[in-house]
Amino acid sequence: PRSITTEAVTPSSSMKDSFSKYAEYLNQFNDKRERVVKASRDITINSKKVIFQVHRISKNNKDEVLEKAEKDLSTVKDQHIARLVNELQGTDFWKLRRAYSPGIQEYVEAATLCKFCTAGTLLNLDEINAMLLPLSDPSSEPLQINILDYILGLADLTGELMRLAIGRISDGELEYAEKICRFVREIYRELTLVAPKMDDSSDMKTKMDVMLQSVMKIENACFSVHVRGSEYIPLIGSDDASYTLLGVPDFE
Amino acid sequence: PRSITTEAVTPSSSMKDSFSKYAEYLNQFNDKRERVVKASRDITINSKKVIFQVHRISKNNKDEVLEKAEKDLSTVKDQHIARLVNELQGTDFWKLRRAYSPGIQEYVEAATLCKFCTAGTLLNLDEINAMLLPLSDPSSEPLQINILDYILGLADLTGELMRLAIGRISDGELEYAEKICRFVREIYRELTLVAPKMDDSSDMKTKMDVMLQSVMKIENACFSVHVRGSEYIPLIGSDDASYTLLGVPDFE
Amino acid sequence: AAVEKQFDEFRHRLEESGSLRDRIRAVATEIESTTRIMHSSLLLIHQSRPIPEVLEKAKTQIDVLKQLFSQLGEIVRESPGQYYRYHGDWRTEAQQVVSLFGFMHWLETGDLIIHTEVEEKLGLNASEFGLDVEDYLIGICFMSNELPRYVVNQVTAGDYDCPRKVLKFLTDLHASFRLLNLRNDFLRKKFDGMKYDLRRVEEVYYDVKIRGLASNGDPKGDQTIQET
Amino acid sequence: AAVEKQFDEFRHRLEESGSLRDRIRAVATEIESTTRIMHSSLLLIHQSRPIPEVLEKAKTQIDVLKQLFSQLGEIVRESPGQYYRYHGDWRTEAQQVVSLFGFMHWLETGDLIIHTEVEEKLGLNASEFGLDVEDYLIGICFMSNELPRYVVNQVTAGDYDCPRKVLKFLTDLHASFRLLNLRNDFLRKKFDGMKYDLRRVEEVYYDVKIRGLASNGDPKGDQTIQET
Amino acid sequence: AAVEKQFDEFRHRLEESGSLRDRIRAVATEIESTTRIMHSSLLLIHQSRPIPEVLEKAKTQIDVLKQLFSQLGEIVRESPGQYYRYHGDWRTEAQQVVSLFGFMHWLETGDLIIHTEVEEKLGLNASEFGLDVEDYLIGICFMSNELPRYVVNQVTAGDYDCPRKVLKFLTDLHASFRLLNLRNDFLRKKFDGMKYDLRRVEEVYYDVKIRGLASNGDPKGDQTIQET
Amino acid sequence: AAVEKQFDEFRHRLEESGSLRDRIRAVATEIESTTRIMHSSLLLIHQSRPIPEVLEKAKTQIDVLKQLFSQLGEIVRESPGQYYRYHGDWRTEAQQVVSLFGFMHWLETGDLIIHTEVEEKLGLNASEFGLDVEDYLIGICFMSNELPRYVVNQVTAGDYDCPRKVLKFLTDLHASFRLLNLRNDFLRKKFDGMKYDLRRVEEVYYDVKIRGLASNGDPKGDQTIQET
Amino acid sequence: AAVEKQFDEFRHRLEESGSLRDRIRAVATEIESTTRIMHSSLLLIHQSRPIPEVLEKAKTQIDVLKQLFSQLGEIVRESPGQYYRYHGDWRTEAQQVVSLFGFMHWLETGDLIIHTEVEEKLGLNASEFGLDVEDYLIGICFMSNELPRYVVNQVTAGDYDCPRKVLKFLTDLHASFRLLNLRNDFLRKKFDGMKYDLRRVEEVYYDVKIRGLASNGDPKGDQTIQET
Amino acid sequence: AAVEKQFDEFRHRLEESGSLRDRIRAVATEIESTTRIMHSSLLLIHQSRPIPEVLEKAKTQIDVLKQLFSQLGEIVRESPGQYYRYHGDWRTEAQQVVSLFGFMHWLETGDLIIHTEVEEKLGLNASEFGLDVEDYLIGICFMSNELPRYVVNQVTAGDYDCPRKVLKFLTDLHASFRLLNLRNDFLRKKFDGMKYDLRRVEEVYYDVKIRGLASNGDPKGDQTIQET
Ligand SMILES: [Mn+2]
Ligand SMILES: [Mn+2]
């Protein structure tokens, strides 16, 4: 019996040629995306471990704890970020940004936290990027963390600094906490002007709200130590003027 | 100067011992979860490729297309599901279910689709699970796909069958489409009684709605072919009774 | 002060990229408005105006588009390696361009416009500022959505050979798409829609066929589409 | 028919697991209600009732809980290898039990109850039906939340030695938790809360100290908590 | 003591109403599960099984439902004047029952089941424990949603007279609903949805009619819809 | 005192605007209910009742609407220059009125009702209390949504000339809308929907044409759409 | 005709219950506005105005409320046995009334207002139109939320005996609530919140005590909370 | 032709209002960016920089804002009587301006900025282009949200008199707002939030007072809040 429909189930060869090119392109690209996602997950999980290591500091073990954290951090860089760099070699970094952005943000969070604890300063984007340079093949354009991921990581940093500040107050390191407070306030203030200019500012808006909460938590903790400390002198009348509530003469 | 706070930054040794055990447990467990997630992603992406391969069938290339699909499917099993089995060896399969469930569901979708196309029947859970048995070390409990993941995969299968049916009608294989229609209707009907009993039935409720949409899309397509075909005889008055609209005498 | 300096620089750079984006959006809006005019001209095809006349009118916009894409390319090249950062701001418009060019090309030649042909018509250079492959494919799906309507209106106007030609073309196109492993949900959804276009064209072809209206009853192996 | 048979079996199995879940929920509800009674008894500690009296009353519920967990274990064991399938249905209750046992244990001994001790008290057997480690840890965080309130009320009632003891304990506990690499967001959030408990207890300790009310001004190296 | 006494009484009353609600939910769950079985049987209608056979199977559940509603009524009557306090706990199920009974009744008689007929079939007594009017109306809307699918499948199976009958029925039903002044609530939304059912059935009737498949075979000038 | 005085005044003003809004909402609700009745009458057109009869019934509501809009205008004029402050409270209703008037006008004359004609029928005065242009356009889009249904039902009832007329009207209307530069808003979305109405009417015209049912009976070479 | 008759009746009944609900909402709005005025007067307590003066002003609204509840009762009684059908429309307001009456009663007498006392003050008759027990309990929880603020402000104003009294009251209230078996619902959530009120009051009492500000001036060994 | 003419005119009018809106949005964006700079300067107040220095820096933006609002006014006046048509496009920005001006005014004078003062500072003229009352009120609520943080940081920096002053201000402000009859809208929600600001400031004042840190140094019997 006849059939009405066309029998041409195989497309014309020129069309087929074009489409096998498209198909190959899509296959390779999707595979690469998968590898990038996996590298990003590894960067995230190992950066989180570095952050936890930092939270293990107390008054008397700073050096050893931070030394280990820095070591772990460079392992993250050398092992996992290196993998990412390798994958992205030669592609437009922006095309796969959504696939690796979470890992990079967490790495920024860990790296800036370490730096603040060791040096008391903000690790600049240029400094981080300089550290990444050796990972790239000199012949192709090196992977550089973009402003957006750096800022998003920084926004999360303030949450970790809040935890650090509460811990430091418990350990009697009030000045350390106040230093964190000033630092976080400064970051917050700077970001108020930068946040609305981000590519996707709605995410950042939420992060700004959370950041303000963190700032206020530190401020409230400092307030509380302050008013409580005020009772010391009138009641005890000690002549030991350095006897503040949770004095930390050994900080720095 | 004295400090009021305790200096005991190191916990008492017995407490520390317990907690290092907890810490080790959590570290190992989280690492395992990461590896399971990655295996699951690989299973997903490769099962999706199998599904696309199946959609490449047309009236004249069924055997070769399906042969390749089946081959690819067993590669998914031997390479990626085997990895999963290896990771899960000896752990409670339910503990990490959320980490591997997406991959398993996609695999079920691919496997049942292949089976329907080759044999016209539903691949049973027991049959799939029997195929997985050789992957497990005989000494430990073998990984078996649970009912829930099987049913969730089956629910997605109906979407693929809908695509297949529309394609078959285009290719003139009306009977094939009607066969799919009956098959999908049966699955839908069976699932109406099963769905509300699922562990998390809210997810399933959405899938049931989508499934009904798929059933109706096939029914509408069959309806449309039917009413259009009805015009043939009165107008042409041909004596060739087998000359139906999109007759597919060569199907089966 | 170091902190302040860094953030000053950030603000500066973000403002720069913000203004870049504004300029991109401005060009994209013009592209959009040009494609609307082009589409408007092409719509007359559904009222059975002669193809050459319709195409001629639509083609007057090609140079405008070429010009706009050249502007777009220049803007994007100011920020090297960041094509995909701003991609989302013009991709819908690019897909629409592909769809229209594809339809016009098909009307003229009966063939599918290929990726590099679109780039060429727009004066794009793949190594610097090219057309994304997925955008090309999505645009082709949009083009396919226009075909059933075209066929219906052509038959209404008495052109009974049209369904056969469109059916041949769409069958080939559909088969080609099946070679792809799609991941992107949007593209996959668009491709699913192509199945329905194909079905609709088949139905029209059938309607014409059973009434003996088709000029040539045998659709097999016919390669005469290009002859038109 | 094969399909039908399979689905019949599915329905059967799902009904089974559904009814299993119902039975688990029923036991969990009883556990919840027993822990409420226990908690209610323990609350009297905030009104400065003598510890032995309070504990005695609370302890009467331990056997009830043991009994209920034994029922739970039996039900769960009916479905081997699926502990974690139903885990979500009783974990909140288990955490609450850990919290209460931990508090009672601390009141009695000054020490942290450890994971296996909780299992023992509940008659659990880790190899068959044990206590999940995360549940244990979350329960311990809940316990920590009770301590500031306890300290405040004890000082109000004139027990000025309490802040020192609690501070020592909580400092140790906090240091121990820092050894963990937490991933689970809920547990991490709970652990963050422990920091605030610690701070509050410090504040009370400070209040007592500067007023010369603490029995022993020197908190260093004190291991006398157990002596109470 | 007055306070204590009061709280004793409260506990008592809350437990009572809590357990009442539990019992209602238990019966409602059974109703739900029975309607599912019924629905599942009715689904066979789409596979062109003979109506009597399909109905017979579905009808076996009517007695079960009657029994369950009698239980429900008894429970609710324990708490006189509080029908609407617990109404929310079974209304979805009641609407589903109406929908199914309505569909079966229509299959059998071609007529709309009326409110009192549903009550009768369920053994309800409006003065004591009746069927809420809104629930009846919502259930009828649900029934309407089933009709387009039924029509499509009937035509595919060769029953070309079905669209006309359904269209007549749905047009009347829609007109009846329009007489109501509906508030902007759930019922209104459901009723607005009925418009789409009507439109779909009109389209199917159109498809059949234009091809001369409708029973009178003559696509021209047929006015028989109005004549019925 | 300045503060106190300020807040006194604020209270006064807020109460005033609150009550104004309440009154507007009350009138809008009545408009809504009147348009429902009108719509209900017009629906009979789908059952092939004679146009004059249907229109006559619907027209009885025009005076009611005029009266209500006059009330609305008076209320709004109490607060000069604040038309757009309260606009959101009645615009949906105004759009519905446009849609119905437009449909009736088309049934009567075959032409599009124009903006000033609607204002006139409602007794509105553009300089004081007019009809917003966007509301007019949205209402026209709603009217277009009714046309495919009308065509389908007319053909079913044997009026084979209807599709050609509606297609001509809708093609022109669509072309007119294309002249507007619409922003990406609600109106644009509604207009995009009009494309589907047009396509559906083309399909019905095709169905009629290919079966030789169109008035001139000849499916070949008919160019009569353009000739009109 | 049976169908038509049925729908006529439905329309009638739905209109009736719709208008009933409107009237209930209107009264509830007035209740809400009266409780706002009452609350506003009571707020002065936080600025240390003398209790009698504050209460006197607030009490002027009691009669208004009584009047409104009497209206409410009349409306609801029009539709016997349907108290709970409309209950959701006024329950938030009723809870607010309980909260305010409870606070006033406590300020005056130091005791908890009991359920029947609220009914009495509102002129309600439990057998006809009473106060729902859950609403009473939720209202009491709202009242408890006000107490920490009251204590803080009283201490600031120099009333150091207040924390002890409030703590006693709240401890008792909390213990009473613990006797109830609450379901996992809104009331349970509100009750869980009461714990925080209690904790805050304990903290204030602690602050006062440790500084020797409590009336008996002696921070040591004071057991007077229990003695009261 | 009437239709064509009509659509020509529509295109014209829609383009006009579209471009007006674009220009308004452009100015609003600049206002937003200016208020950000202002806000950023004001944030230094939390780091205990001297008030005059902080204010001076912030004030440099006032003229910029005045200038921008003058532009805004000019644009809006082009379209008389349509203030509220475009109001939504700049109201968030206006609220933010009110909030900042209110905070600065309070820092300078201790008083609430009143509505006309804001208009004056912005060079607005109520009769032509004024500040909407609701925007003013919402802005004041935003300002209130800043106060608790300010008080906490001032106390930390050693200014113990600040809580008393802020509490006085906020209590008065809250009382003023209570006089308004707010609808259940955005403003009402913002106002409800003010209660939490008030409560937090009360707590800070309490903390300072109970430790004898308040200016008069005497924690007992101080009634000076009321005396002001
Ligand atoms: Mn983090
Ligand atoms: Mn799928």
Same fold? B20-145, B147-230+242-252: yes
Q: What Rg, from alpha-carbon coordinates, does chain E have?
A: 22
Best of B5, B43, B250 to substitute, by most chain A Cβ atoms within 10 angstroms, is: B5
From the list D178, D179, D195, the residue facing A166 with the nearest CB is D195
How big is the CA angle at G220 (ends G219 and G225), to the nearest 5 degrees? Answer: 75
Name every chain G residue with its beta carbon within 8 A of the beta carbon of H226: 47-48
Task: Please tell me the distance between residue B47's alpha carbon and the centre of ligand 2 in angstroms.
Answer: 9
Percent of chain B beyond pLDDT 90? 67
User: CA end-to-end span of chain C, whole Å?
Assistant: 73
Chains linked to C by 3 or more Cβ pairs within 8 Å: A, B, F
H with F: touching (≥3 Cβ pairs within 8 Å): yes
Which pLDDT value is given to residue B244? 40
CA distances in angstroms from H23 to E105, E168, G106, H125, listed in the order given? 63, 56, 60, 21
- Sign of the C-alpha dihedral, residues B200, B202, B203, B207? positive
Span B43-64, average pLDDT: 94
Q: Which CATH architecture has domain H136-228?
A: Up-down Bundle (1.20)
Nearest to C174 by CA among C154, C187, C192, C149: C192
Do G48 and H181 lie within an 8 Å CB cutoff?
Answer: no
Which pLDDT value is given to residue A84? 95
Please check the confidence at residue C111 and state whether its pLDDT lies above 60. yes
Residue E55 and residue E59: Cα distance in Å, rounded? 6
Name every chain B residue with its beta carbon within 8 A of the beta carbon of D167: 6
Which residue of chain D is at minimal alpha-carbon distance from B11? D172
Mean pLDDT of chain A: 86
Residue B235 and residue B230: Cα distance in Å, rounded? 10
Length of chain G: 228
Number of alpha carbons in the 13 Å side-chain half-sphere of residue B168 = 25
Which pLDDT value is given to residue D4? 87
Name every chain C residue with its beta carbon within 8 A of the beta carbon of F203: 152
Residue B77 DSSP code: I
Which residue of chain F is at minimal alpha-carbon distance from E202? F153
Span E116-135, average pLDDT: 94
Span E47-76, average pLDDT: 96
Please check the confidence at residue G216 and state whether its pLDDT lies above 80. no
Percent of chain E beyond pLDDT 70? 94
Residue C92 and residue F20: Cα distance in Å, rounded? 44
**Is F2 buried (19+), middle (13-18) or exposed (0-12) by CB count in 10 A?**
exposed
Which residue of chain D is at minimal alpha-carbon distance from B123? D3
What pLDDT, in 10s, does the model give residues C163-176?
A: 999 999 999 999 99
Nearest to H176 by CA among H132, H82, H112, H130: H112
E strand spans, chain D: none
Which residue of chain D is at minimal alpha-carbon distance from G222? D157
Mutual angle of helices A174-194 and A201-229, in 10-degree steps: 150
Please check the confidence at residue B11 and state whether its pLDDT lies above 80. no
Q: What is the pLDDT along chain F (228 residues), one digit of tens a residue?
A: 788 899 899 989 998 999 999 999 999 999 999 999 999 999 999 998 999 999 999 999 999 999 999 999 999 999 988 999 999 999 999 999 999 999 999 999 999 999 999 999 999 998 889 999 999 999 999 999 999 999 999 999 999 999 999 999 999 999 999 888 888 789 999 999 999 999 999 999 999 999 998 866 444 443 333 333
Span H61-88, average pLDDT: 95
Task: Please tell me the distance between residue A96's alpha carbon and the centre of ligand 2 in angstroms.
Answer: 24
User: CA end-to-end span of chain F, whole Å?
Assistant: 75
| Residues in Cβ contact with B47 at an 8 Å cutoff, skipping those fewer than 6 apart | B73, B76, B103, B106, B107, B109, B110
Which pLDDT value is given to residue B9? 46
Name every chain H residue with its beta carbon within 8 A of the beta carbon of F115: 6, 10
Which pLDDT value is given to residue C48? 85
Residue A43 and residue A74: Cα distance in Å, rounded? 11
From the list G8, G84, G180, the residue facing E7 with the nearest CB is G180
Cβ atoms of residues H119 and H131 within 8 Å: yes
Give the pLDDT band (50/70/90) at residue D220. Answer: very low
Residue D18 and residue D12: Cα distance in Å, rounded? 10
Give the pLDDT band (50/70/90) at residue C215. Answer: low
Please check the confidence at residue E228 and state whether its pLDDT lies above 60. no
What pLDDT, in 10s, does the model give residues C119-148?
A: 999 999 888 899 999 999 999 999 999 999
Span B102-120, average pLDDT: 97
CATH fold of the domain at F133-228: Methane Monooxygenase Hydroxylase; Chain G, domain 1 (1.20.58)
Task: Please tell me the distance between residue B109's alpha carbon and the centre of ligand 1 in angstroms.
Answer: 37
Residue type at position F149: R
Please check the confidence at residue B73 and state whether its pLDDT lies above 80. yes
What pLDDT, in 10s, does the model give residues B127-162?
A: 999 999 999 888 888 899 999 999 999 999 999 999
What pLDDT, in 10s, does the model give residues D44-64?
A: 999 889 999 999 999 999 999
Percent of chain B beyond pLDDT 70? 87
* Proximal ligand: closest to the CA of A102: 1
Please check the confidence at residue A70 and state whether its pLDDT lies above 90. yes
Chains linked to E by 3 or more Cβ pairs within 8 Å: B, F, G
Q: Where are the domains of chain H?
A: 1-131, 136-228
Q: Which helix (H) or strand (E) holds B117?
A: helix B97-119
Which pLDDT value is given to residue D126? 85
Give the pLDDT band (50/70/90) at residue E170. Answer: very high
Instruction: Give the per-residue SS3 of H144-207.
Output: HHHHHHHHHHHHHCCCCCHHHHHHHHHHHHHHHHHCCCCCCCHHHHHHHHHHHHHHHHHHHHHH
Give the pLDDT band (50/70/90) at residue A146. Answer: very high
Do B55 and C178 lie within an 8 Å CB cutoff?
Answer: yes
Q: Where are the domains of chain B?
A: 20-145, 147-230+242-252
Chain E: residues touching F (Cβ < 8 Å): 171, 175, 178, 181, 199, 202-203, 205-206, 209-210, 219-223, 225-226
Q: What is the DSSP string of B173-200?
A: -HHHHHHHHHHHHHHHHHHHHHGGGSTT
Name every chain H residue with its beta carbon within 8 A of the beta carbon of A182: 47
Beta-bridge partners for F125: F129
Task: Please tell me the distance between residue B227's alpha carbon and the centre of ligand 1 in angstroms.
Answer: 62
Residue D92 and residue D98: Cα distance in Å, rounded? 10
Cβ atoms of residues E200 and E153 within 8 Å: no
Using the Cβ of D174 and the Cβ atoms of chain A, whether some distance falls under 8 Å is answered with yes
Please check the confidence at residue B236 and state whether its pLDDT lies above 70. no
Could you tell me which CATH class the domain B147-230+242-252 is placed in? mainly alpha
Which pLDDT value is given to residue A8? 40
Number of alpha carbons in the 13 Å side-chain half-sphere of residue E110 = 9
Nearest to C139 by CA among C106, C181, C175, C93: C93
* Proximal ligand: closest to the CA of B55: 2
Which pLDDT value is given to residue B84? 95
Residue H98 and residue H111: Cα distance in Å, rounded? 14
Least reliable range by pLDDT among A5-14, A78-87, B32-41, B215-224 = A5-14
Please check the confidence at residue C149 and state whether its pLDDT lies above 80. yes
CA distances in angstroms from G26 to B65, C126, E182, F33, G205, listed in the order given? 70, 69, 20, 21, 44
Span A173-187, average pLDDT: 94
Tokens of residue A154, six digits: 């920084």
| Residues in Cβ contact with H211 at an 8 Å cutoff, skipping those fewer than 6 apart | A227, A228, A230, A231, G211, H219
How big is the CA angle at E42 (ends E38 and E48), to the nearest 5 degrees? Answer: 160
Nearest to E69 by CA among E113, E124, E139: E124
Residue, of A113 and F12, whose pLDDT is higher? A113
Homologous superfamily (CATH) of G137-228 is Translin; domain 2 (1.20.58.200)
Could you tell me which CATH class the domain H1-131 is placed in? mainly alpha
Which pLDDT value is given to residue F197? 97
CA distances in angstroms from B47 to A101, A232, B80, F97, listed in the order given? 26, 70, 10, 54
Do E10 and G83 lie within an 8 Å CB cutoff?
Answer: no
Chain D: residues touching G (Cβ < 8 Å): 33, 36, 40, 43, 46-48, 149, 152-153, 155-158, 204, 207-208, 211, 213
Which pLDDT value is given to residue C216? 55
Which pLDDT value is given to residue G50? 93
Span G154-175, average pLDDT: 95
Mean pLDDT of chain D: 90
Do E2 and G114 lie within an 8 Å CB cutoff?
Answer: yes
Which residue of chain F is at minimal alpha-carbon distance from H136? F10
Which residue of chain F is at minimal alpha-carbon distance from E208? F156
Tokens of residue H189, six digits: 């929600």
Nearest to A40 by CA among A89, A94, A106: A106
Using the Cβ of C220 and the Cβ atoms of chain B, whether some distance falls under 8 Å is answered with no
Query: Which D residues 97-116 touch B at CB under 8 Å?
Result: 111-112, 114-115
What was the ipTM of the complex prediction? Answer: 0.89
Give the pLDDT band (50/70/90) at residue E132. Answer: very high
Q: Residue A222: helix, strand or coil by DSSP?
A: helix
Best of B6, B101, B154, B185 to substitute, by most chain D Cβ atoms within 10 angstroms, is: B6
Mean pLDDT of chain B: 86
Best of A178, A194, A213, A223 to substitute, by most chain H Cβ atoms within 10 angstroms, is: A223
Cβ atoms of residues H18 and H34 within 8 Å: no
Chain C: residues touching F (Cβ < 8 Å): 33, 36, 40, 43, 46-48, 149, 152-153, 155-158, 204, 207-208, 211, 213
Which residue of chain G is at minimal alpha-carbon distance from H176? G40
Could you tell me which CATH class the domain A147-229 is placed in? mainly alpha
Please check the confidence at residue A248 and state whether its pLDDT lies above 60. no
Q: What Rg, from alpha-carbon coordinates, does chain G have?
A: 22
What pLDDT, in 10s, does the model give residues H83-95?
A: 999 999 999 999 9
Residue, of F1 and D39, whose pLDDT is higher? D39
Name every chain G residue with its beta carbon within 8 A of the beta carbon of E7: 176-177, 179-180
Please check the confidence at residue E157 and state whether its pLDDT lies above 50. yes
Give the pLDDT band (50/70/90) at residue E216. Answer: low
Which pLDDT value is given to residue G181? 80
Query: Which D residues 183-202 touch B at CB under 8 Å?
Result: 183, 202
Give the closest-approach CA distance of F169 to chain C in angstroms. 13
Tokens of residue E6, six digits: 């009061």
Span E179-200, average pLDDT: 91
Same fold? F1-131, F133-228: yes
Chains linked to D by 3 or more Cβ pairs within 8 Å: A, B, G
Chains linked to F by 3 or more Cβ pairs within 8 Å: C, E, H
Span A43-72, average pLDDT: 95
From the list C43, C46, C207, the residue facing F210 with the nearest CB is C207
- Sign of the C-alpha dihedral, residues H55, H56, H60, H63? positive
Name every chain B residue with its beta carbon within 8 A of the beta carbon of C168: none
What pLDDT, in 10s, does the model give residues H23-65?
A: 999 999 999 999 999 999 999 999 989 999 999 999 999 999 9
Homologous superfamily (CATH) of A23-139 is Translin; domain 1 (1.20.58.190)
**Is G199 buried (19+), middle (13-18) or exposed (0-12) by CB count in 10 A?**
middle
Which pLDDT value is given to residue B232? 62
Please check the confidence at residue H150 and state whether its pLDDT lies above 80. yes
Beta-bridge partners for C125: C129
Please check the confidence at residue C81 and state whether its pLDDT lies above 50. yes
Name every chain C residue with its beta carbon within 8 A of the beta carbon of B56: 178-179
Could you tell me which CATH class the domain B20-145 is placed in? mainly alpha
